[in-house]
Homo-oligomer: A and B are copies of this chain.
Amino acid sequence: MRMLVVGSVAFDDIKTPFGEKKNVLGGAASHFSIASAPLIEPKIIAVVGSDFPEKYVKYLGNFGIDTSGIERSSETTFHWSGFYEHDMAVAHTRSTELGAFATFEPKLTEEDKQRQVLFLANIDPVIQYKVLKQMKNVQLVGMDSMNFWIESKKKDLMKVIKQVDILFLNDAEVRMLAGEASLIKAAKMIQKQGPGVVIVKKGEHGVTAITKNEIFVSPSYPTEKVIDPTGAGDSFAGGCMSYLVANTQPGKKITSEVLRRAVAWGSATASFAVEGFSTSGIAKADKKSITRRVEVLKGLSAF
């Protein structure tokens, strides 16, 4: 199955206790796609400004990612600026400049519309819905979102959520969306609204996946080397979705076994993302090194 990824390709300014970087490659679609590249060849649908260097587009292409859907606009590129303090579980946003994404109208080719798998990375739910409606033959849809959209566009967001198969949110977002303090209860409430699978990302505490019939819990890889957590959630989703795509036949249902392995694969993949600034951490993950960490995760909670 071939996967289309709609989301941001952006500039990031990042400061962590380990250093500071400006105008580095960021954006949910970038992290997601690089994380999925060891298993599949995704195509990105995004927009960048005239200020965006061609070298970043080429860099993405070197992973086997199809970058032909990255539009050029005359506006500026999406730019996120943020920092992390001692406790790197919390990202502090300095500024978010949507730039070209403020007026982005994704245009899909006829071939794009025929893709079987779609991932709607964190972006305005109105744009997510516009893309979803253009798909003619899609069999598996994943999506991510964030607190900003839950607060400002909940109605639009729910329209998308009702139609996706796999929803990725962090624990605070799941609680916020459901208006319920118990995480398991909150995730089940959302699961009943439409998505067959709700995947709760909990950073260092791992991931909980909730389906109609079961709960699966993956610990996070016990890394001591957290340099820059930016994009870890997108990398998790990229790893997870790519494993599902690579291990499910078109038209077939995702089995519990494949879902569990996909979540573990995502966790292992995300552990590389935090080991370097921008995409330098996730760029080092390959099939062999991810497989090795999946085996560590397997041993971590077995008894």
Residues of A within 8 A of B (CB): 86-88, 181-185, 188, 202, 204-206, 208, 215-219, 222-224, 226, 257, 260-261, 263-264, 298, 300-303
User: How far is the CB of A19 from the nearest CB of chain B, in Å?
Assistant: 16
User: How far is the CB of A14 from the nearest CB of chain B, in Å?
Assistant: 17
Please measure, in the bound complex, the distance between the C-alpha atom of A300 and the C-alpha atom of B303, giving whole angstroms: 11
Given A181-B88, A185-B224, the answer on whether A303 and B204 have CB atoms closer than 8 Å is: no
A185: B residues at CB distance < 8 A: 224
Residue of B nearest to A256 (CB): B303
Residue of B nearest to A184 (CB): B222
User: How far is the CB of A201 from the nearest CB of chain B, in Å?
Assistant: 12
Does the CB pair A217–B216 fall under 8 Å? no
A264: B residues at CB distance < 8 A: 303
Partner of A215, one of B87, B218, B222: B222
Please measure, in the bound complex, the distance between the C-alpha atom of A223 and the C-alpha atom of B184, giving whole angstroms: 7
A217: B residues at CB distance < 8 A: 206, 219, 222, 300-301
Q: 11 other contacts beyond A216-B300, A219-B219, with CB at 8 A cut-off?
A: A87-B181, A202-B205, A205-B205, A205-B206, A206-B217, A206-B219, A215-B300, A219-B301, A257-B303, A263-B303, A301-B302
